[in-house]
Chain A
């Protein structure tokens, strides 16, 4: 293993490498050059003077924010001689399972393509390009015939794969004992229990103020809310990414949330961002992809039917169609256990077939995918801004919800953690549900895969996502799932079938997320 200082210098080198050549880099150089003309600069202390001026003008802060962002997406350190796939996912059985899952999805996509006789990609005729350009802001008015398309997969298909995961090194007895896992996930990963989480999430504790609890109507705002808003405004003024992340742990005020999230994600309004989006839009206009139909279908089936997100239908197309074509997203496969799928495409001359990444961003959408974007429409309505925020959230967090890995924020760990929490703290309930054929994960899985989007009311969902961003982890999603079961335990003890258990948990729109989390983490006896 590398020692800490070597690891650090490797990381620094990587980050410097990544920041070289970015727009920020050229801006910093330009600013430094302009500093030279200032009278306060002395030749003897050139370096320090320039540094000081850059700090005072806020440029150092911008660099700090950029470095901070890079730290979020830095691939985990590995042994210098380990092959790259070991860095993405150290456990072999996980890697194998992910590869075989990817093969299945790709096969499904390719067979849909040949069945329907639709090419994976095609250049649009000029008339169609023109029409699409005109209709760009209202693509929702299109009613294409989507009946022959089916989603490539739905969350429940993915769940079956996870249930089938086995670690061959771990010889287990199949009998049900107190020590075995009662749930569906049959692999062992290191997941945290409540005492450990109390250490990790102290800001959610009973002695800390929270938005979602202490901004309730009967609590005088002086106690917490007013002060918290004042601090929030300061954080936004300072433009400090790390401070914003820390702040977000206690919730973001509605009026400041949009700015705070862009700060945490370090998405800027730089011209290069807008240009990049316009380029993607141009690609959408020029070429149609098979996955476009999957996106349309998903939006029509999920977001358009939602009481609150139906309004944003057009934005969802504008984001997701561009997302499919964004090759910059491929970068995240450096730390994603998945590999971008490749399809065989006829070359121009028609003589050869070459394997290209398809779709260009390497992400095949599944049923419900558009719900990752829908809540963000509440905060951002400029397409390029909305797009950058979504993309950053995807490559930091959401991708882990549908790839098989051992990462603590990965879907396998989250499911296992959910089941373990239930088994440890609500054993009677878990046992009862198991006996009636209602494995809790079968109900909770869809919440976890979507990080609760579409299940909670929007304001509650945003409070939850505040904490995901604040702690840089999806763990809180698993905890909330367990807390929901704890909250409805009484009713669940009385049901006698999976269907009635589903009914008890069908409507989460009235739940208040923060009290549930707080009670579960800090008021459960351990």
Chain B
């Protein structure tokens, strides 16, 4: 399905055009005529790559400078590929340390222990943004202890490696999952086989923040260009995904109520594709500010930043850092009634397929700005705190805005993140970037 593309750059260099264009990486001094890319996906990213001036797609066997691959390709080919200095690829080798639910939980728990040991309880409490989670079948016994400690509570079972809401179910009674007990005796190797699926059991958040009786979660985009040192960018746009039906704890079998994933909502009986069940992040932020006031919402978004930073720090030493790699994560965040944000999961391949024209434009901008930051064309100095809709959130330490005034009664150090704020990226990009060769400044 082709969406209308408005306002996007149309000047394109054809493949092989030599002209006046020479792309220089200032650091390495290499000169290339154009940037050769491979793209394993057939959605918005393809449009962005095709329309980028000076970028040319290469076929199967050719050399490439840039690869937007899927995780399957990565798994099979990364270890056998030799990449020159300038080459970039859109995943880290072992991203699953962050994105597979069981590994993420393990890393977070270990990180929390370290923080408690080094900085005490209060600091460690800042890591309590994920619900109690246990890996099954390996942690079955500790899970049962916790389960019995909170009678009547609801838990959610999620397969470790699947996405789009597949295989998830809710339960309140142990007998619903009694089968796991039998598998708990299997050996490590047997469990690692593809057929045996690992699950996590997680405490279900029974008091989600509701808007007009509906549950929603947030999708936020974080771009990591390096783990050591950690450099992470936060995108201003994002969205809230609403469940199509009103929230109630009475029907835990109705997965349509509880799962806000768009892929699941699409199969719900009263799903109306014309309706669209997403709000832009700006809309949500505006709504919350109108309801709760500026300071409360400011605090909430600071706590959300905290989730991103700490989750990345928790895998900083585990992820194999590689200067060729960058990764665009899709974070799923849930708010509860006390306006506490919870981390639900992190996606290494957030969906780039658009569900509407508005959604397409958001994803297009997101990917375009991602490519600006990856900067194959060597136009950035490396000192930027903002590129288009991305704000530099962490650069081996917290990043603060340049505007250190006493705005709104806050203290002088203001974090450099603007999730849900105005995204005037066009103007900012015009001022920041030199135009592509052959392109006039608009």
Contact = CB atoms under 8 A, between A and B. Distances in A.
Interface of A: 137-138, 141, 143, 216-217, 220-222, 226, 229, 253-258, 304-305, 307-308, 310-315, 377-379, 381, 458-459
A217 B405 contact: no
Given A137-B213, A255-B289, A312-B212, A307 B405 contact: no
Given A217-B424, A220-B405, A222-B405, A310 B246 contact: no
A304 B212 CA distance: 13
Given A221-B408, A229-B408, A311-B214, A378 B287 contact: yes
A307 B212 contact: no
Given A220-B403, A220-B405, A458-B283, A141 B246 contact: yes
Interface stretch (B177-185, B290-298, B338-346): B290-298
24 contacts: A137-B213, A138-B246, A216-B422, A220-B403, A220-B407, A221-B405, A222-B407, A229-B294, A254-B286, A254-B289, A255-B289, A255-B292, A257-B290, A258-B290, A305-B274, A305-B275, A307-B358, A308-B279, A311-B242, A311-B279, A314-B213, A381-B212, A458-B286, A459-B286
Interface in B224-262: 242, 245-246
8 A-B pairs with least C-beta separation: A255-B294, A255-B293, A221-B407, A254-B289, A138-B246, A311-B212, A312-B212, A255-B289
B290 A255 contact: yes
B211 interface: yes
A310 B276 contact: yes
A253 B289 CA distance: 9
**Chain A at the B interface: SS class:** helix
A313 B212 contact: yes
Contacts of A315: 212
B307 to A, nearest CB: 23
A216 B408 CA distance: 14
A226 B422 CA distance: 18
A220 B283 CA distance: 23
B71 interface: no
Contacts of A222: 405-407
Contacts of B409: 226
Given A141-B270, A381-B212, A381-B291, 10 more contacts: A141-B246, A217-B421, A221-B408, A226-B406, A254-B289, A254-B294, A255-B294, A255-B297, A311-B211, A459-B282
A141 B212 CA distance: 13
A378 B287 CA distance: 6
Interface residues of B, number: 35
Interface of B: 211-214, 242, 245-246, 270, 274-277, 279, 282-283, 286-287, 289-295, 297, 358, 403, 405-409, 421-422, 424
A308 B290 CA distance: 15
Contact of A377 (B212, B297, B421): B212
Contacts, number: 77
A253 B294 CA distance: 9
Contacts of B294: 229, 253-255
Contacts of A308: 279, 283
A310 B408 contact: no
B330 to A, nearest CB: 21
A304 B245 contact: no
**Chain B at the A interface: SS class:** mixed
A95 B255 CA distance: 57
A378 B212 contact: no
Contact of A314 (B212, B275, B292): B212
Nearest to A256: B293
Contacts of A216: 422
Contacts of B274: 305
A137 B214 CA distance: 11
A378 B246 contact: no
Contacts of B422: 216-217
Contacts of B287: 378
A378 B290 contact: yes
A522 B214 CA distance: 44
B279 A138 contact: no
A159 to B, nearest CB: 27
A221 B406 CA distance: 9
A254 B290 contact: yes
Nearest to A259: B293
B242 A141 contact: no
Given A137-B213, A221-B405, A307-B358, A379 B290 contact: yes
Interface hub of A217, A220, A314 (most chain B Cβ within 10 A): A217
Contacts of A141: 245-246, 270
A255 B286 CA distance: 9
Contacts of A312: 212
B48 to A, nearest CB: 21
A221 B246 CA distance: 40
A314 B291 CA distance: 18
Contacts of B358: 307
Nearest to B403: A220
A305 B275 CA distance: 5
B412 to A, nearest CB: 13
A216 B423 CA distance: 11
Given A137-B246, A253-B294, A310 B277 contact: yes
Contacts of A310: 275-277
A251 B275 CA distance: 31
A314 B408 CA distance: 35
